[in-house]
Amino acid sequence: MTHRSQGALRACEHPLVGKDRTLDASAPLTGTLGQRAALAIGGIAAAVALVAAPFVTQAQEVSLRASVFVPSNTVFGEPCARFVDHVNQTYKGIVQIRLVGPDAVPSLEQGNAVRSGVVDLACIPPAYYTNVMPEADAAILSTLNFTQQRASGGWEALNKLAHQKQNVQMVAGYGDGVQFHIFTNKPVTSIADMKTLKLRTTPNYTSFFVSLGSSPVNMPPGEVQTALERGVVDGYGWPIAGIFDLGWAQHTKYRIDPGFYNVIVYVLANYTKWNALTAAQRDALTKAGEWLEAENTRWATFKSAAERKRQLDAGIKVIDLGDGYRKQAYDAYWTDISKRAPDAIKMLRPLLDK
């Protein structure tokens, strides 16, 4: 008899079950009455086991809805899709995830969506929720990788703030090791020439672009190609990788070096939902996150090198504005987020900027 059948048997009220709800071993099952009793008990136990089994299986597996800020077949959507595939293949019976893109949940709304529980998980950059947690972008200024941030205490410090302000758990991250650049369709020869440009921005670039004298234009990724075609913007900030996937390369003539900041895309879980998961379900997502971050090290190095070659082959010219340009990027953004979250940045910067 299985443990489940034994449990069901003990729970049944029956003349042969003692007052302490356990089978009375001193009562022999003999004769017709005994045979009937044994059959009755066995039948009840089997029925309970049969009915309970599907519910036990269902209770062990949770289905989660996730979103990603760009299409899953683009360079910064692919790692999120791989994470989801890894979970679905490795942790069947524990966790399953259904992934949707910006066509279902608009990119700039995904920060609100995961905070409120419209989605259970989201793969988004911290820039997409700096409206409620400006210090989240300290991560892109960090000189430490994810492993080093965990060792320094920086990761956990950010995670605690994310619990409080964004109602999310930082499950994992990717993109670390890939830098941002400004791409344009107009040439510049100095930092002073940047004043003539209209540049697509997100909150993480804006203070730097303003410091350059450029005119920042905020828009989601899906609108950038049309904006370039119509002259609404002259260029854009974006990581080294991804401009071909999004169709922007055909409107791009120059890449400005050196790169600045670090690409960070977090896999975030709604914190209320996270706490409602079982320990096994949380452990599955955590282990999948560790797998993703290990993959990221190889992926980031390969992608950066491959994209530089592809851009060179496509005729995109490199303009190097020197170390002063890069320093200006960091100084501008540290100053900006320090004004918006002074206490948090005072605590975070020593943990992230070594």
> Residue 330 half-sphere exposure, CB side, CA atoms within 13 Å?
17
Q: Supply the mean pLDDT for the chain.
A: 86
At 351 the pLDDT is 97
List beta partners, residue 117.
Answer: none
Secondary structure of residue 61 in the 3-state scheme: coil
List the single range of 11-25, 223-237, 305-319 with lowest mean pLDDT. Answer: 11-25
Q: Is 236 exposed, middle or buried (0-12, 13-18, 19+ CB in 10 A)?
A: buried
Residue 326 has pLDDT above 60, yes or no: yes
At 197 the pLDDT is 97
For helices 31-60 and 3-11, angle between their N-to-C axes, nearest 10 degrees:
120
The rounded distance, in Å, linking the Cα atoms of 129 and 194 is: 28
At 281-294, the pLDDT tens digits run: 999 999 999 999 99
Q: Domain 59-175+264-298: give its CATH architecture.
A: 3-Layer(aba) Sandwich (3.40)
At 29 the pLDDT is 36
At 59 the pLDDT is 53
Residues 227-250, mean pLDDT to the nearest whole number: 94
The rounded distance, in Å, linking the Cα atoms of 279 and 326 is: 44
At 45 the pLDDT is 46
Residue 330 pLDDT grade (very low, low, confident, very high; cuts 50, 70, 90): very high
Residue limits of CATH 3.40.190.170 in the chain: 59-175+264-298, 180-262+305-330
Single out the residue of 75, 146, 76 nearest to residue 291, CA to CA: 146
As assigned by CATH, the class of the 180-262+305-330 domain is alpha beta
Residues 145-165, mean pLDDT to the nearest whole number: 97
Residues 143-156, mean pLDDT to the nearest whole number: 96
The pTM of the whole model exceeds 0.75? yes
The rounded distance, in Å, linking the Cα atoms of 342 and 348 is: 10
| Cα torsion through 146, 148, 154, 160, rounded to 10 | 50
Single out the residue of 107, 4, 111, 78 nearest to residue 303, CA to CA: 78
At 258-274, the pLDDT tens digits run: 999 999 999 999 999 99
